[in-house]
C-alpha cells in the first residue's frame, strides 16, 4: 500500500486576496490543489487561476542552471562574476551606479534581504519594485492622509457594508474570490447596493446596481463632487472631524471649486451615487488600478479618503476606504520597505532618525542617504548609462514597463544586467548577461501579506528543481561574495523573519504601526507551523481595524484631508492619436503569462491579444469583427484582434497587458504606453495614453495547430497552449505563393507527409502534416479571418488520416463546445448556449446544475449571466 502524499497548507502566488491553498504532491512533479477552508481569506474557495496551479508547476521552460552569456555555468562562477561587477561599479562610480529592480511577488524574506543589501550595505536607495507600477499611488495617498501606509479595514467589511463602491477595479476578474464574497453577501442581504466606477462596463458590473462610466481619469472630480454634496447636505461628522481630522476646510473649498461635469456623468447618475453613498452609514470604497495607474493617482486616492474622513467612516465595521492589492506580496513589500522611497517596517527613508535606527539595528557600514530612483527614472538612468550594473528579480520589465521598447533597449544597452527568474526565456531574461535560476511557487518557503494585512506562509510542496535556489539565498550569496558574509548568514527564512520582527519593534518604538515584534523569538518549528495572522500585533490591539477613534500616524495624530484639483490624463487626445488607450487584465492570465500560459484551460478563455472597441468606432475605422487592428503612437505599435463591444465607450479602447514577445508577434502593448508619472508617487499612467488605430491590411489569415512549439514566421502571429500542443493565429500582408512549402517551413517539418485541400485561386488552403501516420500540424488559411472550430481542429493533433480530417468542424454527432467559459469544468460557450436553448435554463444556478459550469470558483458566473442575457447562437470559432 502506498502512503497518501502529505497535504501542505500554503498560499496562492497570484493576486493579493491571498487565498489559502492545500497542495498534495502527486509524486510525479505535479500536485492536486484545493482551497483551504481554514484560511481566513478564502474559507476554501479558489478562482480559476488558483485551481489551475497544478498545471503550471511542470519544468517545461524552467531555468534550471545559472547562465552566463548564453552558457550554462556553475553557481560559484556566476556569483563571483555578479559580485565582482557590482563591486567594481561601486568602487569606480559610487553606490548609486548600481540598482535592483524587484517585485511584489517576492516573499517578505527575499524582499527583506534585498533591501538590507542595497540600502544598508551598498548604501544606495536604488532598489525599486514593480509595485511602483501597481500600488505606489495608494502608498503615497495613505501616507499623506494617515501619516503611514496603512490599510484601515479588513475583508469582513465587505460582508457588513450596505454600499460597496468599486472604483477602477475589475474585481470579478482580478480578485475573484473577494468578488464572489460580495456577490454572496448581496444575495444574503438584497438591500445591499453595489456601485462600479469604471469607463468600461466590465464583468464586475454584473452585480452592480449602478455603473458609472466615468470619463477616463475623472475619479477625483467624482469624489470632489461627493465631498461637496456631503457638506451641502450637512452630513459631515462634525465631532469626528473636530477631534481627528485636519485640512477639512481647504479640502472642501477645492472640492466645491471642481467641475462635476468633468466626470462625463449625467446629473441623475451623480445624484444617485451621492444619495447612496451619503445615505448609508456602512460604505466601503474599494479601489485598484483605475485609481492608482494615473498621472493623478495619489490625488484620486486622497479624494476618496477625504470623503471617508469627512463622515468619520473609517476603520468601522463595514466602513472605510479599501485599496485592494494586486500581487500576492504587494503588501509585504510595502511593509518591508521595498520601494525606493521607504525603509523597512513603515519607517521613512527621508527621516534621519529612522535611517539611524535602521543602520544601528543592522550594524551596517553604510546607509542610503535618501530615496533612490523610482522605476521610470531608474530605467532612464539605465538608458543614460548612469546605472552600470542592474539586477532584475522576479519581474519582466521589457514587457510590463511603460515605453517598453525603450526600456528593452535600455536594458540591452546596460553594461551589466543580471536577471533572477524561474523562466528561461522571458523578454527580459533574453537581454541579460547573467540569468540566475530561482525557485518558484511550490518550492519557495517564506511569508506573504495580503490586502487585509494578513501574513501567511508559502510552503514548499516540491523540491527545488535543477540548480534553482531560493531568491533570499541568491541575494545572501551575492552579499557574502561582496564581503558581508556574516551579516547575511541566515540558515533559513525563519532566521530572516525573526530579524525582521525584531526590527519592527524598533519601528514600534519610533511610533510606527507595523509592529510584529511578538514574533521576534519565533522558533524554526513555530515558523514552520505559523498560522495566518493579521497585524497589528505586539503592543497594539491584535489584528483589528485602524482609525475609528483617530490615532493617525501624523505628527498631530490627525487624519489629513487634502485639497484636490482634478487633472485630466497627461496625454491629450489629438487628431493623430484620437483614442484613449485603456489597459488591464483578463480573467485567466497572470501578467506576462510565464505561468498561466502553461495551462491549456487558462489559455482557452482569451487565446489572443485583443483590442476591445465600441462597434461604432470599429465601423468608422473600417475594422471588421475578428479582423486585426494596428494600434500605434510615437512610442510604439501593436497588432491586436478586434473585439467589438458595446461595453466600451466610443473613443476609448481597451487592451490586455499580458502578451509578450514569446506569445505574439506584436502583442506587447506597453510599447505604446507613455511613461508619464504621478508627481507624488512616481506611478506611471498605464491606463491613459493616446493612440491611433487602423485596420491591419492582411492579405491572408490563418489558424494552425502544432504538436511542437514553433516560432512562427508571419506578419502577425499569436500562440497559446492547447491540450496536445499549440494553437496559433496567423496573418500576413502577402499570401505565400506555395502554401504547402509555407506550411512545411512554418512547422519545421520538411519531410512530413501532407494531406492538402488547396484552392490557390480563392486563396484557400487546408493542410495537415502527418508524422508516422499521425497529425503533427494543421494549417487553415483564407483571405478572411478563418472561421473554423478552434476546439475541433486542436483536437485533431495526434489523429490518424480520415476522410473528414480537413472539414474544419465536427460532424453533427460531435458538437463543438466553442470557446471555454468555465475553466474549472471545461465548459464551452456553445455547450452552454445549447443547454440554455434546449433545457430552457433561466439562471446561472440552473446552468450550474445542468453542466457544473460556474459551480467551482465562480469566476465565470458574470459571463454565464451575460450568455443568459444574450442567448444568441455564436460563431464557433472564437
Ligand X SMILES: Nc1nc2c(c(=O)[nH]1)N[C@H]1C(S)=C(S)[C@@H](COP(=O)(O)OP(=O)(O)OC[C@H]3O[C@@H](n4cnc5c(=O)[nH]c(N)nc54)[C@H](O)[C@@H]3O)O[C@H]1N2
* 326 touching ligand SF4, by CB under 6 A: no
CB of 180 to ligand SF4, least distance (A): 9
Nearer to ligand SF4, 11 or 115 (CB): 11
Pick what 587 binds: ligand SF4, Mo ion, ligand X, none; C-beta below 5 to 8 Å, kind-dependent. Answer: ligand X
3-state helix/strand/coil string of 385-416:
CCCCEEEEECCCHHHHCCCHHHHHHHHHHCCE
Measured between alpha carbons, how far is residue 643 from residues 435, 540, 608, 718, 822 in Å?
38, 52, 11, 15, 20
Q: Return the exposure string of 610-625: e unless at least 16 CB atoms fall within 10 Å of the residue's CB, then b.
A: bbbbbeebbeebebee
What contacts 266, CB < 8 A, 6 or more positions away? none
CB of 858 to ligand X, least distance (A): 14
User: Beta partners for 102?
Assistant: 129
C-alpha–C-alpha distance, residues 744 and 746, integer Å: 6
Q: Work out whether 395 is an interface residue with ligand X (CB under 6 A).
A: yes
447 binds ligand SF4 (CB under 6 A): no
Per residue, the 3-state secondary structure of 828-859, as one string, reads EHHHHHHHHHHHCCCCHHHHHHHHCCCCCCCC
517 binds, among Mo ion, ligand SF4, ligand X, none (CB under 5 to 8 A by kind): none
Q: Which of 9, 18, 314, 505 binds ligand SF4 (CB under 6 A)?
A: 18
Question: Which of 588, 853, 798 lies closest to 55, judged by CA?
Answer: 588
Q: Are strands 434-437 and 416-421 parallel, antiparallel or unpaired?
A: parallel
The residue among 326, 330, 323 whose CA lies nearest residue 106 is: 330
* In the complex, least distance from residue 393 CB atom to ligand X, rounded to whole angstroms: 5
Stretch that binds Mo ion, among 13-21, 134-142, 347-355, 629-637 (CB under 5 A): 134-142
Q: Give the helix ranges, DSSP H, for 512-599.
A: 524-529
Helix runs in 25-74, H state only: 48-51
In terms of CB distance, is 199 or 442 closer to ligand SF4?
Answer: 442
Which H/E stretch holds residue 680? none
Distance CA 745, CA 766 (A): 15
Q: Which of 180, 184, 179, 258 is nearest to 222 (CA)?
A: 258
CB nearer to ligand X: give 441 or 484.
Answer: 441
56 scored as a contact of ligand SF4 (CB under 6 A)? no
Which is nearer to ligand SF4, 17 or 434 (by Cβ)? 17
Nearest residue (CB) to ligand SF4, 48 versus 681 = 48
In angstroms, what is the minimal distance from the CB of 258 to ligand X?
16
Binder among 134, 182, 183, 252 for Mo ion (CB under 5 A): 134
Among 8, 9, 33, 46, binds ligand SF4 (CB under 6 A): 46
Give which of Mo ion, ligand X, ligand SF4, none residue 297 binds (C-beta under 5 to 8 Å, depending on kind): none
Please report whether residue 50 would count as binding ligand SF4 according to CB under 6 A: yes
Binding to Mo ion, residues 301-330 (CB under 5 A): 326
**Which residues, other chains included, contact 763 with Cβ-Cβ below 8 Å and sequence gap of 6+?**
699, 700, 735, 781, 782, 783
Question: According to CB under 6 A, which one of 42, 73, 296, 327 is a site residue for ligand X?
Answer: 327
Binding mask 164-203 for ligand SF4 (x = CB under 6 A): -----------xxx--------------------------
The position carrying cell 514548499 is 460
| CA nearest neighbour of 704 among 765, 629, 643 | 765
649 part of the interface to ligand X, by CB under 6 A: no
Q: How far is CA 444 from CA 48, 128, 513, 861, in A?
A: 22, 22, 28, 33
State which residue, 457 or 591, has the beta carbon closest to Mo ion: 591
Where on the chain is the footprint of Mo ion (CB under 5 A)?
134, 326
Where on the chain is the footprint of ligand SF4 (CB under 6 A)?
12, 14-15, 17-19, 42, 46-47, 49-50, 175-177
Where on the chain is the footprint of ligand X (CB under 6 A)?
15, 49, 103, 105, 130, 133-134, 167-170, 173-174, 197-200, 202, 214, 216-217, 219, 288-290, 293, 326-327, 393-397, 399-400, 420-423, 426, 438, 440, 444, 471, 582-585, 587, 589-592, 594, 657, 669-670, 673, 686-687
Amino acid at each position: 500500500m502506498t502512503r497518501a502524499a502529505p497535504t501542505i497548507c500554503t498560499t496562492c502566488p497570484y493576486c493579493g486576496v491571498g487565498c489559502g491553498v492545500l497542495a498534495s504532491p502527486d509524486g510525479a512533479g505535479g500536485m492536486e490543489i484545493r482551497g483551504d477552508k481554514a484560511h481566513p481569506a478564502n474559507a476554501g474557495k479558489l478562482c480559476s487561476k488558483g485551481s489551475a496551479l497544478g498545471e503550471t508547476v511542470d519544468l517545461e521552460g524552467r531555468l534550471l542552471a545559472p547562465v552566463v552569456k548564453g552558457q550554462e555555468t556553475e553557481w560559484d562562477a556566476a556569483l563571483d562574476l555578479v559580485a565582482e561587477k557590482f563591486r567594481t561599479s561601486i568602487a569606480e562610480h559610487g553606490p548609486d551606479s548600481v540598482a535592483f529592480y524587484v517585485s511584489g511577488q517576492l516573499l517578505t524574506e527575499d524582499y527583506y534581504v534585498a533591501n538590507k543589501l542595497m540600502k544598508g550595505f551598498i548604501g544606495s536607495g536604488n532598489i525599486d519594485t514593480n509595485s511602483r507600477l501597481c500600488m505606489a499611488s495608494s502608498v503615497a495617498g495613505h501616507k499623506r492622509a494617515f501619516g503611514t501606509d496603512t490599510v484601515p479595514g479588513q475583508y469582513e467589511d465587505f460582508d457588513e457594508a450596505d454600499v460597496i463602491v468599486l472604483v477602477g477595479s475589475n474585481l470579478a476578474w482580478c480578485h475573484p474570490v473577494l468578488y464572489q464574497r460580495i456577490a454572496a453577501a448581496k444575495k444574503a442581504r438584497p438591500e445591499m447596493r453595489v456601485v462600479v466606477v469604471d469607463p468600461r462596463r466590465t464583468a464586475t458590473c454584473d452585480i452592480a446596481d449602478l455603473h458609472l462610466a466615468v470619463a477616463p481619469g475623472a475619479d477625483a472630480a467624482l469624489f470632489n463632487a461627493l465631498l461637496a454634496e456631503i457638506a451641502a447636505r450637512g452630513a459631515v461628522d462634525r465631532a469626528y472631524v473636530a477631534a481627528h481630522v485636519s485640512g477639512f476646510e481647504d479640502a472642501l473649498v477645492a472640492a466645491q471649486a471642481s467641475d462635476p461635469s468633468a466626470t462625463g456623468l449625467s446629473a441623475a447618475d451623480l445624484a444617485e451615487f451621492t444619495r447612496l453613498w451619503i445615505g448609508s452609514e456602512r460604505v466601503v470604497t474599494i479601489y485598484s488600478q483605475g485609481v492608482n495607474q494615473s498621472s493623478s493617482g495619489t490625488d484620486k486616492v486622497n479624494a476618496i479618503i477625504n470623503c471617508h474622513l469627512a463622515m468619520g467612516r473609517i476603520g468601522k465595521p463595514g466602513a472605510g476606504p479599501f485599496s485592494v492589492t494586486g500581487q500576492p506580496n504587494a503588501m509585504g513589500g510595502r511593509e518591508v520597505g521595498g520601494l525606493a522611497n521607504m525603509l523597512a517596517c513603515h519607517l521613512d527613508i527621508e527621516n534621519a532618525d529612522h535611517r539611524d535606527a535602521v543602520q544601528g539595528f543592522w550594524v551596517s557600514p553604510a546607509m542610503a542617504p535618501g530615496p533612490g530612483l523610482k522605476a521610470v527614472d531608474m530605467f532612464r538612468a539605465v538608458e543614460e548609462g548612469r546605472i552600470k550594473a542592474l539586477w532584475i528579480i522576479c519581474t519582466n520589465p521589457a514587457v510590463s514597463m511603460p515605453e517598453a521598447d525603450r526600456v528593452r533597449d535600455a536594458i540591452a544597452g546596460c553594461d551589466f544586467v543580471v536577471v533572477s527568474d524561474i523562466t528561461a526565456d522571458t523578454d527580459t531574461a533574453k537581454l541579460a548577461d547573467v540569468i540566475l535560476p530561482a525557485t518558484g511557487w511550490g518550492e519557495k518557503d517564506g511569508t506573504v501579506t495580503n490586502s487585509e494585512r494578513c501574513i501567511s506562509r508559502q510552503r514548499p510542496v516540491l523540491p527545488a528543481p535543477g540548480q534553482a535556489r531560493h531568491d533570499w539565498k541568491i541575494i545572501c550569496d551575492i552579499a557574502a561574495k561582496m564581503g558581508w558574509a556574516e551579516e547575511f548568514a541566515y540558515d533559513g527564512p525563519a532566521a530572516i523573519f525573526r530579524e525582521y520582527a525584531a526590527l519592527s519593534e524598533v519601528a514600534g518604538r519610533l511610533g510606527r504601526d507595523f509592529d510584529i515584534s511578538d514574533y521576534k523569538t519565533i522558533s524554526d518549528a513555530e515558523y514552520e507551523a505559523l498560522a495566518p495572522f493579521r497585524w497589528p500585533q505586539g503592543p497594539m490591539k491584535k489584528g483589528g481595524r485602524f482609525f475609528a477613534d483617530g490615532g493617525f500616524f501624523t505628527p498631530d495624530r490627525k487624519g489629513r484631508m487634502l485639497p484636490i484639483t482634478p487633472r485630466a490624463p497627461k496625454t491629450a487626445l489629438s487628431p493623430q492619436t484620437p483614442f484613449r488607450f485603456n489597459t488591464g487584465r483578463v480573467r485567466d492570465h497572470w501578467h506576462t503569462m510565464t505561468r498561466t500560459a502553461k495551462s491549456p484551460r487558462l489559455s482557452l478563455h482569451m487565446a489572443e491579444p485583443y483590442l476591445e472597441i465600441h462597434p461604432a468606432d470599429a465601423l468608422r475605422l473600417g475594422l471588421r469583427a475578428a479582423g486585426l487592428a494596428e494600434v500605434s503612437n510615437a512610442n510604439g505599435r501593436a497588432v491586436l484582434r478586434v473585439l467589438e463591444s458595446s461595453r466600451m465607450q466610443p473613443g476609448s479602447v481597451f487592451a490586455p497587458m499580458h502578451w509578450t514577445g514569446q506569445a505574439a508577434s506584436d502583442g506587447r502593448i506597453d510599447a505604446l504606453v507613455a511613461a508619464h508619472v504621478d508627481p507624488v508617487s512616481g506611478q506611471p499612467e498605464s491606463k491613459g495614453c493616446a493612440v491611433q488605430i487602423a485596420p491591419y491590411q492582411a492579405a491572408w489569415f490563418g489558424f494552425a495547430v502544432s504538436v511542437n512549439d514553433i516560432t512562427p514566421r508571419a506578419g502577425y502571429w499569436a500562440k497559446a497552449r492547447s491540450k496536445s500542443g499549440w494553437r496559433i493565429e496567423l496573418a500576413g500582408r502577402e499570401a505565400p505563393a506555395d502554401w504547402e512549402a509555407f506550411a512545411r517551413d512554418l512547422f519545421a517539418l520538411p519531410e512530413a507527409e501532407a494531406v492538402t485541400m488547396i484552392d490557390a485561386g480563392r486563396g484557400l488552403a487546408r493542410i495537415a502534416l502527418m508524422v508516422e501516420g499521425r497529425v503533427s500540424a494543421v494549417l487553415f488559411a483564407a483571405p478572411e479571418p478563418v472561421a473554423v472550430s478552434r476546439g475541433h481542429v486542436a483536437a485533431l493533433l495526434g489523429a490518424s488520416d480520415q476522410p473528414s480530417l480537413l472539414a474544419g468542424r465536427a460532424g453533427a454527432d460531435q458538437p463543438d463546445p466553442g470557446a471555454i467559459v468555465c475553466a474549472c469544468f471545461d465548459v464551452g460557450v456553445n455547450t452552454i448556449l445549447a443547454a440554455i436553448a434546449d433545457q430552457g435554463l433561466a439562471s446561472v444556478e440552473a446552468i450550474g446544475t445542468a453542466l457544473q459550469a460556474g459551480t467551482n470558483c465562480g469566476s465565470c458566473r458574470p459571463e454565464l449571466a451575460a450568455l443568459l442575457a444574450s442567448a444568441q447562437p455564436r460563431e464557433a470559432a472564437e
